[in-house]
Structure 1
Amino acid sequence: MKKQLKFKLLAIALISILATIGIGCDRLFTKPFQLPASAKQEPWPIQTGLRAAILRSNIPTVNRVVLVPDEATFLAAIQKWNLKGNWPILIEDKKYTPMFLQRFQPEEIVRLPSIKQQLPKNQKLQQLMLNASAAAWNATDTQTLKAQWTQLGWEPPGVVITSENDPALSAAVALAAAHGQPLVFLEGNFGKPNDTLNNTQWKSLQLAVTKAVESTGYFYSQLADPIDTITIVRQLAVKYQSPEKPEEQLAVTDGLGRHPNGERWAAVGWIYGSEVRSIYQAMCAIFLDSETAMLYDSYPKEGNWGKYEMEAAASGLKTIGLNVEVVQKPESSLEKWRSLASKPWTFDLILMNSKGYPKSFQVGNGDASVEDIPKLLFPAAIHMIHSWSAAAPDDKNTVAGRWLENGAYAYIGSVNEPFLSAFIPPKLMVDRLKRGSPFLIAARQLESPPWKVATIGDPLMSIAKPRPRIPPTQQPM
C-alpha cells in the first residue's frame, strides 16, 4: 500500500513539473508528430496547415545555407537533413541564389565542392531519390520510412509526384523530405507548361495521377483523410479543354485531385522548370517566412468589385505580424504603379486585383504591360485576381511568366476568362491564412466544379509567423 501511495505521489509530482515547464500530459502520452484530436474538428484546409506546422515546430531550421554546384551534389547534400534539423540547399546561380540569401540572412554559408559523379539512370536514380528523401526522417529507404512515420504518429498530408527524366526532380525530393510525403513517379508526355491538353490527354493524366496517389497505400479519396494535397513537380500542360465547352480552357491544377463527378479529394500545386529555379522555389516554400506584404487594389468600391477591397485583408495580415502596404483608389494609377515598380520590391506576399489580358493588367486608370512588372529583391508569393495572367506561365512575356521569371516562388492566377467569382475575396483568403490554411488552398473556391484558376508552387506553404532557428554549431553537417 505504501509503495502504491509513493508511486502516485511521484506521478503527481512529475505531472506538476511537466506542467510547470510547459509540457502537457497530452504531449507526454502521445506521439510527437501526431495531429491532436481537437484539431480533427477543424475544416480540412486547417488540418492540412496544422500538420505542416507540426513539422515546423518539431524539426528545427538550422541557420545556414548550403550552396552546391550541381544536382548530384545536391542529392548528396540533402541526405544530411535529419530530425534534429534541416537547412536550405541551393544550386548556386547568379540570379535566384542572391535573392534567397538576401531574404534568409543565414548565420553560415557553406559551399560544397562537386562530388564529381554522374547521376544514375532509371531505377537506380529513383532509388537514390527515395533514399535521399527518407534520410531526412532518419530512415534508409521507403520501407523504413513508413515504419518511422508510424512510430512518430505521422500521417503524410500529401503526395509528391515527379519524373526521373525531369529537371525538377531534386525539388521533388526536397518537398517530400521536408513535408513528410511519399515520393512517386509519373513518366510520360503530358504537354509543355504553356500547352492545352485535349480530352483524351486530359483523361490519361487524371487516371495516371490518381493511380500514382493510390500506389502510396494511404487513404486519399475523402477530404480530411491523410492525403489532401498533390504536389506535381515536373513538366506538364497548364490547361485542358473543357469537356462541356471545348473552346474554353480549364486549369489542370484545379481539375486534378477530383472524382469523376467533379468532387474534390485533394488540392494541387505545381512546380516545373530548370534544376536551379525549381529547387529555389521549393526552398523558398519550405524555409522562408513572411514579414512584409503589398496589397494593390485597382478596383472601384461599388458593386461586386467592392467585395474585393483590400483594407480588411490588410488588417488581418497585420494581426499575424506582417508589415503591410496598401495602395487603393484614388491612389492606384498607372503613374503610381510605375513609380512603385521603378525599384526592386522587398515584399514577401503580393495580393493584387486587376483586369486585363495575358500581357497587360489594369492598375487603376490605365494598363500596365509585362515590362512594368517590378524586379524582386526578395522571393515572393503572389495572388493575382486577373483574367488570363497564367495562360502561358512559361512565357516571360506574359504576366505570370514574368513574375515567375523575376523570382516568384508561388503564383495564383487564371488560365482563361474566369469571371470575378472564380476568385476568393482578399478578406476571406486572409481569414483562412490566419487560421493556418496553406496559401494555395486558402486562395481556392474549394467547393466549385473544376474551373480556371491555376496554383503554381508548394500547396503546403503557409503564411506564418517567423519560426526560430538554431545556430549551426548545434547541428553540424
Structure 2
Amino acid sequence: MKIPKFGEYGHNPQARPFVCFVATASPGSFSYRFLCEAISRQYAEQLSVVGMGAWGERKWFKEMDIDMKDDSGKVYLPEFILADASGGLLGRLGAYTEAKEIDAFLAGHLPSAKGNSSPLSPGVDLPALFALDRVLSPYAPLNKASCAAATTLLADLDQRFPKMDSLAWLRDTMAAAERLQNTATRFSLRRPLASVVKIAPDLASFYAGLAHWDEHRVYPILLGKTSWSQKFIREFKPEEVIHLPPGDPESGIATEATVRQALLASIGGAASGGASLADLNKRMIAASGGTPTGVVFIDPASPVAAAGTALASARFQPVVFTASPGRFEEALSFAAAEKLRRTILVRIKALGVPYESYGDSLDGLTLACEFPFRYHSPPHEAERGVRALDDLLIRKDNGTRWGVAGRLIGDAESAVYRAMCSLFLSPRSALFFSRYPEGSAPWKHYSPRTAVEAFEEILPCQVVRHPDATLAEWRKRTGDGNDATNVFINSSGGAFNWSVSGGQAKPEDIADSVPCQVHIIHSGSAARPLDSGSVMGRWLEAGAYTYFGSMSEPLLEAFVTPDRIADRMFNGFPFGMACRSLLGPYSYPWRLVYFGDPLTPLNHDLKRIRPPKRPGAAN
C-alpha cells in the first residue's frame, strides 16, 4: 500500500530512507511534542518525522482510516505510520499503552535501529505523559496538583533526555502559567493622568504636543477634529479640551529624529537633536525601573508611527526603528517568517533587558509599522496552512512565548484614537453575548457565567446566552449603538458573517459603538482586518480599540475560556496576555490575532489629577 498524497505530505528534505508520520488531534500537547522530538533525535540519520493533524489533514486521516480516540472515547493517542522513502507503507501503531511498544515498533521496521539504544524505554512513563496532557488541557484548572505532576515528570525526563526543546517548553510554560495566577501591578501607568484632552491639527503638532508630557503627568492627545476625537472625548469626559496650534509645515513627514526627540522630552529629558537611540532607550529603561513591560517597533514613515510613539512614552518602552519587511497582505514562507522572528529576537536581546520570563519581564511587542500578516506553516508540522505571523514573532527558539504581540493598523487619526483609548479609558460596562449551548462539552466550558460574576464586582454587565442570543435580541441591545466598553462574543462563521442563536448575522448588524475592547470566539472574524465590510473591520470602524479573534479556522480549544480571561485581567495582566493560550492542543504558533496595544490592562483603577495650565494653548 502507498501512503496517500505522499508527494505532498512526505516532507523528507535530507532524503532519509524512512518517513514516520505522527498523526494527532492535539499538535500542541506536551506528549506529542516530546514523542516527535525524542524519535527525531534517536533516529536522526534514518527517518524524517512528519506531523499530521486531525483537522487540517482530515481527508488524509479518512483515507488512512485513523481514529484518534481510545476505547474510553478520550482523544489523545498519536498514531505512528512508517513509510519508506518512496511512500510505501511499512507499518502502523495506533493502540499502545507503554513506551516500549513504540520502541519495538520502530526497531522492528528500521534495519539499523536494532543496535541503537531505545529512544523511549526505559525512562518514559507513557501513561503519566498522557495524563499530564489531560490536566494541562484548556479546560482543566491549573493547580498545585497539576504543577506537581509536571515537576515530577520533568525531573525524571531531564536526566534521560538532556537539552530537549519540548522539556524546556514545558518548564517555561508552566512557570508562565503560574505567574498569570498571581497579582501584577507593573502594567499600570506610572505617571498621573491629567483630566485634559489636547487636539493636534497635524502630525508635527502631535509630536510637539507629546513632547510636553513630562515625568509628572500625561494626558490624551488626539489627531484632528475627527469623529474619532469626538468619540474619545465623549467617553473620557475631560475637564478641559485644548486645541493645539499647527506644527512646523516643514516637518511634514516624521523621521527617526522627530520620534526620538519627542520621546526624550516626553519622559523629562532635553529634546536634543543629538540624542542617540541608545541614549533614549537607556532613559526609557531607567524610567521603567530597569525592566520595561514591552518594546515598540516603529517605522517613522508609517501612518501608525505617532500612535506607537505615544504608547512607547506612556509605558516607558524602548524603541526599535525598522523599515517595513513586507506588505500587510503578503503571506511569507515559513523560512522568511522564521528569519524575521530571529531578527526581532536579536534586536530585543540587544536592548539588554530581561525578556525570557513571560509575565514578569519584557512582555509586549507593539508593531507600529507594516508587517506581513500571514505566513505558511512548516511543511513537516501538523495542521498545515496559513498562520498568524504575530503569534510566531514572540516565540523563543524552543517555542515558548516570551511575550504577546499587538499590531497597530489604520490611518494616523484612527491609530492615535486607539492608542489613547488603550492608555486612558476605564471600563464602564460589559456585554456577554453567547450563542453556544451550555449543556455539553466543549461548548459548556465557554459559558460566560463565571466571567460575568467577576466583572459584576466592578461594573454592570449585560448577559445574553443561548437560546436567547438571537439576531433580534442583538439588535434590541445594540441597535441604537453599543454602549458596552468590554464586549465578549461566542459565535462562529467567516470573515463576513457570524452566527447567532437560530440564524446568522452580518457585519452591518454591528452598530456604532462607544470605545470598546472586543473578544470574539469565532472561526475567522479577523481574516480580512483591512476590509471595513468584514466582521473585524466593522468593529474597528464602529469604535473598537483592541480586538482579539481568529484569522483562519483555529478550532474551539485554541481559545482561552472566558473565566480564565477574567481571572488574568483582574490579576492585573493586559487583555492581550489574558487572551493567549499557554498550554493545550493549540498553544504553538497558531491563528489567533490581537490588534491594538498588547499591554492594555483593565484600567479600572485609573485616577486623574486636575489639568495643568499651559501658556499658549487656546481653549
For residues 349-400 of structure 1, the C-alpha deviation after alignment (integer angstroms, 9 at most, x for no partner) is: 0011001111000111110011111211x11100000001111111111111
- Equivalent residue, structure 2, for 1:205: 340
Are 2:374 and 1:239 equivalent residues in the alignment?
yes
Q: Which has the larger radius of gyration?
A: 2
Aligned in 2, Cα 1:360/1:449: closer, same or farther, shift over 3 Å? same
Are 2:432 and 1:295 equivalent residues in the alignment?
yes
Report deviation, 1:459: 1.2
Report deviation, 1:423: 0.5
- Equivalent residue, structure 2, for 1:324: 461
Are 2:607 and 1:468 equivalent residues in the alignment?
yes
Give the distance between the partners of 1:367 and 1:340, measured in 2 at CA: 16
Q: Partner letter of residue 436 of structure 2? A: Y
Are 2:545 and 1:406 equivalent residues in the alignment?
no
For residues 58-104 of structure 1, the C-alpha deviation after alignment (integer angstroms, 9 at most, x for no partner) is: 41100000001111110000000012110000002432111101100
Aligned partner of 1:315 among 438, 442, 453: 453
Give the distance between the partners of 2:519 and 2:176, measured in 1 at CA: 28
Aligned in 2, Cα 1:91/1:148: closer, same or farther, shift over 3 Å? closer
Percent sequence identity is 31
- Equivalent residue, structure 2, for 1:395: 531
Greater RCO structure (CA 8 Å; 6+ sep): 1
After the TM superposition, which of the residue ranges 43-52 and 274-283 deviates more from structure 2? 43-52
Aligned in 2, Cα 1:73/1:147: closer, same or farther, shift over 3 Å? closer
Are 2:447 and 1:281 equivalent residues in the alignment?
no
Q: Partner letter of residue 229 of structure 1? A: G
Q: Partner letter of residue 314 of structure 1? A: V
Q: Do 1:48 and 1:157's aligned partners in 2 also have CA atoms closer than 8 Å? A: no
- Equivalent residue, structure 2, for 1:118: 250
Are 2:443 and 1:305 equivalent residues in the alignment?
yes
- Equivalent residue, structure 2, for 1:17: none
Are 2:300 and 1:164 equivalent residues in the alignment?
yes
Report deviation, 1:421: 0.4
Structure 2 unaligned regions, length at least 5? 1-174
- Equivalent residue, structure 2, for 1:14: none
Aligned partner of 2:490 among 353, 374, 397: 353
Aligned partner of 1:101 among 223, 228, 233: 233
For residues 421-465 of structure 1, the C-alpha deviation after alignment (integer angstroms, 9 at most, x for no partner) is: 010111111011111111011011024211111011111101132
- SS of 1:387's partner is coil
Give the distance between the partners of 2:282 and 2:382, measured in 1 at CA: 43
Are 2:267 and 1:137 equivalent residues in the alignment?
yes
- SS of 2:594's partner is strand
- Equivalent residue, structure 2, for 1:10: none
Give the distance between the partners of 1:267 and 1:163, measured in 2 at CA: 19
Are 2:316 and 1:183 equivalent residues in the alignment?
no
Aligned CA-pair RMSD: 2.4
- Equivalent residue, structure 2, for 1:338: 475
Give the distance between the partners of 2:534 and 2:612, measured in 1 at CA: 45
After the TM superposition, which of the residue ranges 139-148 and 154-163 deviates more from structure 2? 139-148
Are 2:590 and 1:451 equivalent residues in the alignment?
yes
Q: Do 2:199 and 2:225's aligned partners in 1 also have CA atoms closer than 8 Å? A: no
Q: Do 2:324 and 2:371's aligned partners in 1 also have CA atoms closer than 8 Å? A: no
TM-score normalised per structure 1: 0.85
Question: Which structure dedicates a bigger proportion of its chain to helix?
Answer: 1
Structure 1 unaligned regions, length at least 5? 1-39
- SS of 1:411's partner is strand
- SS of 1:80's partner is coil
- What aligned pairs does 1:29-48 form with structure 2 within 5 A after superposition? 43-45=178-180
- Equivalent residue, structure 1, for 2:365: 230
Q: Partner letter of residue 130 of structure 1? A: R
Aligned in 2, Cα 1:48/1:428: closer, same or farther, shift over 3 Å? closer
TM-score normalised per structure 2: 0.66
Q: Partner letter of residue 516 of structure 2? A: A
